[in-house]
C-alpha cells in the first residue's frame, strides 16, 4: 500500500519549514516559530543541494533529524487513527507513530527539491485559546497559483507543536484517517502496521 499518494506534495515544503527548528532552544510563539524557519530551511536546502541530490539517504536522514519536537506525531497518529486508537495496545501505538513519522519525512524528502524555491509567506494567525491556534501561510505553486496552507498547532508542556496540516482545504489528518480506517477494516491494526513498515522498508527506511 503506497501511503505517499494520500496527501498533496505541496504540503511538504511547509512541513520542512518547521523541521528546521530542532536546534533552537528558546520556545517561540507559533507565528514567530514559522516565520523564523522559512529562511533557515531554504538556506539549508540551497547550501546542501549537491549533497542531497547525490544521496537520498542523507536527505532522508536530515529530514528525520530535523523533525524533533515540533510535530506531535503521537497526537497526529491518534487523530488519524480516530476510534481505532483506543483499540491499539501501547506497543502498537508506539510503532504506528514511529512509522507515520518516517512516512511523512520520506514524503518530504522525495519532493523537497520541487518546492525549495517556492515563495512562501506567513499571512496570519487565528488563536482559538491559549492552547490552540492556526497559523496561515500562502505558497506560490509552480503554475503560479497561490495555495493556502494552515498549520493547526497545540501548546503542550509550554511548547507549540503541529498536530495537523491543511492544504487547499485538505487536512492531512483527515486524509490519513480515511486511509488508516480502510486498512484497519481490511486487515486490522497489525495489518496497518505491516503496510506502513513495508512501505517504509521499500523506501530504504
Model confidence pLDDT, tens digit, residues 66-98: 656 678 889 999 999 999 999 999 999 999 999
Sign (positive or negative) of CA dihedral 31, 16, 106, 8:
positive
Instruction: Write down the mean pLDDT value for the chain.
Output: 81
Topology at the third CATH level for domain 8-202: Nuclear Transport Factor 2; Chain: A, (3.10.450)
Per-domain residue ranges for the chain? 8-202
Percent of the chain past pLDDT 90, that is, above it, reads 35
Query: Rounded to two decimals, what is the model's pTM?
Result: 0.80
Q: Which of 138-142, 174-178, 181-185 has the lowest mean pLDDT?
A: 138-142
What gap in Å lies between CA 29 and CA 51, rounded to an integer?
A: 33
The answer on pLDDT for 9 being more than 60 is no
Q: HEC string of 23-86?
A: HCCCCCCHHHHHHHHHHHHHHHHHHCHHHHHHCHHHHHHHHHHHHCCCECHHHHHHHHHHHHHH
**Structure confidence at residue 21 as a pLDDT band (50, 70, 90):** very low
Mean pLDDT on 192-201: 93
Q: How large is the average pLDDT for residues 104-109?
A: 69
Answer yes or no: are the C-beta atoms of 45 and 30 closer than 8 Å. no
Burial class (CB in 10 A: 0-12, 13-18, 19+), 9: middle
Task: Give the tens place of pLDDT for each residue, 28-63.
Answer: 788 887 776 666 666 777 788 888 787 777 777 776
For residue 187, pLDDT over 90 is answered with yes
Q: Average pLDDT, stretch 114-120?
A: 72
Amino acid at each position: 500500500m503506497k501511503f505517499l499518494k494520500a496527501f498533496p506534495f505541496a504540503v511538504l515544503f511547509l512541513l520542512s519549514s518547521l523541521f528546521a527548528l530542532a536546534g533552537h532552544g528558546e520556545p517561540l510563539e507559533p507565528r514567530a516559530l514559522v516565520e523564523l524557519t522559512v529562511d533557515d530551511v531554504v538556506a539549508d536546502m540551497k547550501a546542501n543541494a549537491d549533497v542531497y541530490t547525490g544521496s537520498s539517504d542523507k536527505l532522508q536522514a536530515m529530514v528525520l533529524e530535523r523533525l524533533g519536537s515540533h510535530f506531535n506525531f503521537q497526537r497526529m497518529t491518534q487523530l488519524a487513527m480516530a476510534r481505532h486508537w483506543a483499540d491499539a495496545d501501547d506497543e502498537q501505538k508506539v510503532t504506528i507513530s514511529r512509522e507515520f513519522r518516517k512516512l511523512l519525512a520520506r514524503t518530504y524528502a522525495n519532493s523537497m527539491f520541487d518546492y525549495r524555491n517556492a515563495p512562501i509567506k506567513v499571512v496570519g494567525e487565528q488563536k482559538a485559546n491559549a492552547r490552540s491556534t492556526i497559523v496561515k501561510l500562502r505558497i506560490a505553486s509552480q503554475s503560479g497559483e497561490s495555495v493556502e496552507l494552515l498549520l493547526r498547532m497545540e501548546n503542550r508542556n509550554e511548547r507549540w507543536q503541529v498536530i495537523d496540516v491543511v492544504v487547499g482545504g485538505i487536512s492531512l489528518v483527515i486524509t490519513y484517517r480515511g486511509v488508516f480506517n480502510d486498512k484497519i477494516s481490511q486487515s486490522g491494526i497489525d495489518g496497518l502496521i505491516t503496510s506502513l513498515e513495508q512501505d517504509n522498508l521499500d523506501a530504504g527506511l
